[in-house]
Amino acid sequence: MADLRLVVVGAGGRMGRALIRAIEEADGVTLTGAVERPGSPALGRDAGVLAGLPALGVPVLDEPQAAFEGADGVLDFTSPESSLLHAALAAEAGLFHVIGSTGFSAEEEAALAALAARTALVKSGNMSLGVNLLAALVKRAAATLGEDFDIEIVEMHHRMKVDAPSGTALLLGKAAAAGRGVDLDERAVRGRDGITGARHAGDIGFAALRGGTVVGDHDVIFAGPAERLMLGHRAEDRMIFARGALRAAAWAQGKPPGLYSMADVLGLTDF
């Protein structure tokens, strides 16, 4: 069978470089295109060299349509604005699109869902196996423990991260809300400061820490009467996200248009 032909958007970024390395280490996939924004210092460079590998003969371009030519799918860990732009271009070119970018507003999420009517789009705030299994466990714990256990989600990331709470924290919050049968938007408390008053029963709280080079730490705390359950995950290497994205790409190939999650990819939807 022919290799899956993939384009990496945001090729010069932390995740872009990890994705290029993951493609090179995997069987059955080939990097055929690499995209960066106009003005990026990565433009014209060889994508392999950019990722610390031998040259691959794939130059970094600022013209997505040219980079998408002859490809099967797009891997995109950039920003909400960039992912929306590239999702539209991928749909136009008939390519599936794997999106790891985080920090989408409700309006941007809706725009992406509309684009998913035209192509297969896999989007997740965290592409690792461990976090997606954690989400399934959180959903189960939230359903079992009920509202006398207060749910707080704590995350820590490197100093360069631009959005908070992290996409993973929100994914875990959604899993907890689903376990309780409530809407996260109605119960989320995304940071506290000053005289906040006592905690409301049923709130799902978030706290975000930033510093150093932390790849991604997440804890979900169920604080109940005289006991606490803590479920957590520690990401030690960005390659776990990149390998997850490749798994999503292999799964997305040939799928009908739609908005899919990593739970779909990993078969965790019935948890």
Ligand X SMILES: NC(=O)C1=CN([C@@H]2O[C@H](COP(=O)(O)OP(=O)(O)OC[C@H]3O[C@@H](n4cnc5c(N)ncnc54)[C@H](OP(=O)(O)O)[C@@H]3O)[C@@H](O)[C@H]2O)C=CC1
* Distance in Å, CB of 126 to ligand LZUJQKHR, minimum: 5
The answer to the question of residue 102 lying near ligand X (CB under 6 A) is yes
Would you give the binding string for ligand LZUJQKHR spanning residues 138-177, x where CB under 6 A is met?
Answer: -------------------x---x----xxx---------
Secondary structure (3-state) at 12: coil
User: Looking at 157, 174, 218, 233, which residue is catalytic?
Assistant: 157
- Chain centre distance of CA 187: 22
* Distance in Å, CB of 135 to ligand LZUJQKHR, minimum: 12
User: Which residues 3-22 are close enough to bind ligand X by CB under 6 A?
Assistant: 9-10, 12-16
Alpha-carbon span 40 to 46, nearest angstrom: 13
* Distance in Å, CB of 162 to ligand LZUJQKHR, minimum: 8
The partner in contact with residue 83, picked from ligand X, ligand LZUJQKHR, none with C-beta cut-offs of 5 to 8 angstroms by kind, is none
C-beta of residue 250 within 8 angstroms of C-beta of residue 73: no
Nearest to 245 by CA among 10, 1, 67: 10
Nearest to 85 by CA among 106, 68, 69, 71: 68
Stretch near ligand X under the rule CB under 6 A, chosen from 53-61, 97-105, 144-152, 248-256: 97-105
> Residue 224 annotated as binding?
no
Give the helix ranges, DSSP H, for the chain: 14-25, 47-50, 64-68, 80-93, 106-115, 129-145, 167-180, 184-187, 239-252, 262-266
Alpha-carbon span 101 to 82, nearest angstrom: 9
Alpha-carbon span 19 to 238, nearest angstrom: 9
The answer to the question of residue 35 lying near ligand X (CB under 6 A) is yes
Nearest to 215 by CA among 131, 140, 135: 131
157 classed as catalytic: yes
User: Which residues 116-135 are close enough to bind ligand LZUJQKHR by CB under 6 A?
Assistant: 125-126
Other CB atoms within a 10 A radius of the CB of residue 149 amount to: 18
233 classed as catalytic: no
The answer to the question of residue 21 lying near ligand LZUJQKHR (CB under 6 A) is no
Question: In the block, which residue shows the tokens 């798994």?
Answer: 247
The partner in contact with residue 78, picked from ligand LZUJQKHR, ligand X, none with C-beta cut-offs of 5 to 8 angstroms by kind, is ligand X
> Residue 156 annotated as binding?
no
Chosen residue from 33, 48, 73, 125 binding ligand X by CB under 6 A: 125
The answer to the question of residue 79 lying near ligand X (CB under 6 A) is yes
* Distance in Å, CB of 174 to ligand LZUJQKHR, minimum: 12
* Distance in Å, CB of 125 to ligand LZUJQKHR, minimum: 5
User: Which residues 187-246 are close enough to bind ligand X by CB under 6 A?
Assistant: 241
**Partners of 47 in the beta sheet?**
none
Alpha-carbon span 52 to 38, nearest angstrom: 22
Residues labelled catalytic: 157, 161
Q: Which residues bind ligand LZUJQKHR (CB under 6 A)?
A: 102, 125-126, 157, 161, 166-168, 216, 235
